[in-house]
Structure 1
Amino acid sequence: MKYVRLGSTLKATCVIFFTVKTFSMALAKESYENATKPAPNSELETKLLKIYGGNYGNWIRSFGLLPSWKMPADCLERFIWHGYRPNPNTYTFCIKSAFYPTNETFNFWTHFVAFLFFLWRTLWLWNQVEEPLSSRNCLAWLSCFGCLYVLLASSLAHLFNCKSPTMQEFGFCLDMNAIAVFAGANFFMNINHVCPLYSSEYPDLSVYFIKGVGCLWILMQFVQVFSRHERCAHPVFFRVVIPSVLYGTIMLPCFIRFVFPELLQSTARGAAECGETQLFAKYFRYHFILCIVSSIVKTKRFPERQFPGTFDIIGSSHQIFHITTALAAYYQNKLIEVVLLNPDSSLQQSAPLSLSPQTVFYSIVTYFVVVLPIISLASMDLGRAIELRRTLKKQS
């Protein structure tokens, strides 16, 4: 028992170290070096001219794309120098740009292709289950919806964020909100069917987790809107913290079960105990590692920080972040697959939350009726503030 506790302590220490390291990197003061043109004859200008000064650069510019120093500061990504679409623009140009060599093209396709793949997997799972609309499967379908929604919202946000400042802010707010929906749906799935938490001393532990995480999700929505405000001193920090916290809630039930098994005296059997313990440990480990890697890569801005201009179009940190998060969602979906296809009926015993198909449907409808108008109003206000700053900058 002593060695088990020591191993759990070491694992937790490593997780806390990487988390603090990631957040501390995000707290560094954000400065957009690419907002101004590189100094003449500087090393940076020489590198950029070597990449974009010949036929390749002419080909990029033939699509109407601009360098970073000709773009408004609110449209810039740090250390990305070329391949920007003019903002504002038309819907037609936004759609066509999905096939242009822009710095957003790969961002769009990485999540849109993943969306199509997960849509196929959801339909496949639906056909494999004998009673897809039974109450025991509702949380699994809600989890699948969250995965599809976050991938589609992300891809469309990257595709249409050059339409206008308002659409730019709407896309960001929708993307962050979709991450919250994805995190919530998968958290419910994990804590109910994959890794249910039960302790003889705290029989309502799962219920407390659900209430606490629900309050945290609501708080994160206000924080993500504030991170876009001009008065926010550390926007990068909040933009890293919000998805990190939300993705962390997904892993929380399985993290406690796998890292601190001695703390739980579980009588609620989850899918992780139904003859698939090693398989679930592998899926959870892959999911956890991918989430950590994606946070560090995105915060560290690797590799575009180290190789300016080389990875503007393909290979930037945000694109790597898209790939790793899509892979993490795949391993989360594999956990759902085992739950849906496992014939052991004891999976549903002691589940703290049970939803009917009607409840899931009304929840999704209520979300779109209530939350989307709020996001629209917030993005309109943020968009007007951006337009005002752009106008004042032109006049000065």
Structure 2
Amino acid sequence: MSSAALERLSTLSLSVQQLVRLPRLLDALPSPPSQRGTVRASDVPSLFREPYILTGYRPVGQSWRYYLLSLFQRHNETLNVWTHLVAVPAVLLRFWALAGARGVTLDVASLPLALYVLSALTYLSCSVAAHLLQSHSELAHYTLFFLDYVGVCVYQYGCSLAHYFYSSERAWRDSQVGALFLPGAAFLGWLSCAGCCFAKFRYRRPYPLWRKVYQLIPTGLAYVLDISPVAHRLATGSWAEPALTFHALQVAFFLLAAFFFSCPVPERFLPGRCDIVGHGHQVFHVFLSLCTLCQLEAVFEDYLSCRDAVARVHGEGRLLLACGSFPVLVLCSALTAAALRRSVKRRLKVRQE
């Protein structure tokens, strides 16, 4: 492994240590005020409950200020918020440091890189907002998680742009998968957003298997396609390349994240004992943040190795068209989420009449 890769692994290890210290730092945070402290699962509507999480819920219907201040208090969403909140400056500062050290300028060749970083910051920020504020009301809960799904869609396509223009090899791009990659990534990104929003709107607890089907199948297909140029590199490339170590790590961290997202462990086997620290969604957030940090290192290394040839190999027109589709996808996903939000409002209005 090259000295550059070792140096970046050392930098990544510092980020890992910061994430690992979060549960210990949580002990220093106060509990919410006693008059509006955390409550048990039976004290909040079923919409706000999580399987096997029995305590640590914030009461529903408090002021926005109450939920904003709960950022500095102990409850069962605290680590869900902080694991992604810490990752926002970590991604931004690491990119800033890398770009500054290597003299990166914003031009056609660096546009996919800029959109990738923007997409990462978007999904992390949307996740923070959803977990911090969702207990305000039913409408806020649906709205914020719909926004969270839009963020995931944006991140998927941002990854696709970076993987296609910087991390792919010509043999893969000349294949049928490579030819259909960008439009397929955009469609599956929107479909994953639509599927997650629909599943959230359509099904109530206890959730049936169909909810997972609507969520995981389009999201899983989007990931398989998005990671295909990297998988091809890992299978055929030389592991002497510094980027491949970080690509391998991003895949490993994502698969671990996917496992903890899909399976409620360890809380399934220890109900009530992982309410504040250690439940599966928190572990999912940690691994997803690590995946993003490794992916940033890998993508940046790939960008440096090919930036002088990106416009020549792909053509400026193709670069601009692919990057121009980014805001179009954001708009389509936002409109889909807005349409389902209107359906939620109608349902809530009917219930109140």
Report the secondary structure of 2:202's partner residue. coil
Give 2:136's aligned residue.
163
Contact kept, 8 Å, 2:311 with 2:319, in 1: the verdict is: no
Output the CA distance in 2 between the equivalents of 1:369 and 1:60. Answer: 38
Give 1:239's aligned residue.
215
Report the secondary structure of 1:314's partner residue. coil
C-alpha change, 1:237 and 1:91, in structure 2 (3 Å) is: same
How far does residue 84 in structure 1 lie from its aligned partner after superposition?
0.9
TM-score (structure 2 length as normaliser): 0.79
Q: Whose Rg is larger?
A: 1
Give 1:375's aligned residue.
337
Superimposed CA distance per residue, residues 61-106 of structure 1 (whole angstroms, 9 cap, x where no aligned partner): 8252210012111111111001111222211011011112111111
Output the CA distance in 1 between the equivalents of 2:331 and 2:180. Answer: 28
5+ long unaligned stretches in structure 1? 1-58, 262-271
* Residue 351 of structure 2 corresponds to residue 385 of structure 1: no
How far does residue 143 in structure 1 lie from its aligned partner after superposition?
0.7
* Residue 223 of structure 2 corresponds to residue 252 of structure 1: no
Output the CA distance in 2 between the equivalents of 1:166 and 1:351. Answer: 44
How far does residue 342 in structure 1 lie from its aligned partner after superposition?
3.5
* Residue 170 of structure 2 corresponds to residue 186 of structure 1: no
Give 1:92's aligned residue.
65
**What is the letter of the counterpart of residue 186 of structure 2?**
G
Report the secondary structure of 1:153's partner residue. helix
The counterpart of 1:299, out of the listed 246, 262, 280, is 262
Output the CA distance in 1 between the equivalents of 2:132 and 2:61. Answer: 13
The aligned runs of 1:309-348 (5 Å cut-off) are 309-342=272-305, 345-346=308-309
The Cα RMSD (Å) is 3.0
**What is the letter of the counterpart of residue 280 of structure 1?**
A
Contact kept, 8 Å, 1:247 with 1:291, in 2: the verdict is: no
**What is the letter of the counterpart of residue 376 of structure 1?**
A
Contact kept, 8 Å, 2:153 with 2:333, in 1: the verdict is: no
Contact kept, 8 Å, 2:116 with 2:155, in 1: the verdict is: yes
Output the CA distance in 1 between the equivalents of 2:336 and 2:262. Answer: 29
**What is the letter of the counterpart of residue 375 of structure 1?**
A
Give 1:218's aligned residue.
190
C-alpha change, 1:159 and 1:116, in structure 2 (3 Å) is: same
Output the CA distance in 1 between the equivalents of 2:350 and 2:46. Answer: 13
C-alpha change, 1:186 and 1:224, in structure 2 (3 Å) is: same
Report the secondary structure of 1:86's partner residue. coil
Contact kept, 8 Å, 2:193 with 2:333, in 1: the verdict is: no
Output the CA distance in 2 between the equivalents of 1:165 and 1:302. Answer: 26
C-alpha change, 1:302 and 1:285, in structure 2 (3 Å) is: same
**What is the letter of the counterpart of residue 182 of structure 2?**
I
Superimposed CA distance per residue, residues 269-294 of structure 1 (whole angstroms, 9 cap, x where no aligned partner): xxx67xx7443332122111111111
How far does residue 347 in structure 1 lie from its aligned partner after superposition?
5.3
Give 2:181's aligned residue.
209
C-alpha change, 1:248 and 1:230, in structure 2 (3 Å) is: same
C-alpha change, 1:366 and 1:214, in structure 2 (3 Å) is: closer
Output the CA distance in 1 between the equivalents of 2:167 and 2:46. Answer: 44
Give 1:281's aligned residue.
244
* Residue 75 of structure 2 corresponds to residue 102 of structure 1: yes
Contact kept, 8 Å, 1:228 with 1:382, in 2: the verdict is: no
C-alpha change, 1:87 and 1:380, in structure 2 (3 Å) is: farther
C-alpha change, 1:98 and 1:383, in structure 2 (3 Å) is: farther
Output the CA distance in 1 between the equivalents of 2:185 and 2:338. Answer: 25
Give 2:168's aligned residue.
195
**What is the letter of the counterpart of residue 294 of structure 1?**
A
Output the CA distance in 2 between the equivalents of 1:74 and 1:203. Answer: 45
**What is the letter of the counterpart of residue 226 of structure 1?**
F
Contact kept, 8 Å, 1:297 with 1:320, in 2: the verdict is: yes
C-alpha change, 1:117 and 1:92, in structure 2 (3 Å) is: same
Output the CA distance in 2 between the equivalents of 1:237 and 1:204. Answer: 27
Give 2:89's aligned residue.
116
C-alpha change, 1:180 and 1:279, in structure 2 (3 Å) is: same
Greater per-residue helix proportion: 2
Contact kept, 8 Å, 1:190 with 1:254, in 2: the verdict is: yes
Superimposed CA distance per residue, residues 173-213 of structure 1 (whole angstroms, 9 cap, x where no aligned partner): 1111111111111112112211234369x467523222222
C-alpha change, 1:373 and 1:89, in structure 2 (3 Å) is: farther
Output the CA distance in 1 between the equivalents of 2:198 and 2:322. Answer: 31
Output the CA distance in 1 between the equivalents of 2:222 and 2:73. Answer: 33
TM-score (structure 1 length as normaliser): 0.71
Output the CA distance in 2 between the equivalents of 1:194 and 1:312. Answer: 40
Superimposed CA distance per residue, residues 136-179 of structure 1 (whole angstroms, 9 cap, x where no aligned partner): 11111111111111111101111110112111111111111111
Contact kept, 8 Å, 2:190 with 2:329, in 1: the verdict is: no
How far does residue 337 in structure 1 lie from its aligned partner after superposition?
1.9
Output the CA distance in 1 between the equivalents of 2:81 and 2:349. Answer: 25
Superimposed CA distance per residue, residues 219-272 of structure 1 (whole angstroms, 9 cap, x where no aligned partner): 22321222013358422343344443333333121113323x3xxxxxxxxxx6
Output the CA distance in 1 between the equivalents of 2:345 and 2:75. Answer: 23
Report the secondary structure of 1:173's partner residue. helix
Output the CA distance in 1 between the equivalents of 2:183 and 2:80. Answer: 34
Output the CA distance in 2 between the equivalents of 1:89 and 1:371. Answer: 29
Give 1:82's aligned residue.
55
User: How many equivalent pairs are there?
Assistant: 318
Give 1:268's aligned residue.
none
**Percent of residue pairs bearing the same amino acid type:** 20
Deviates more, 1:63-72 or 1:148-157: 63-72
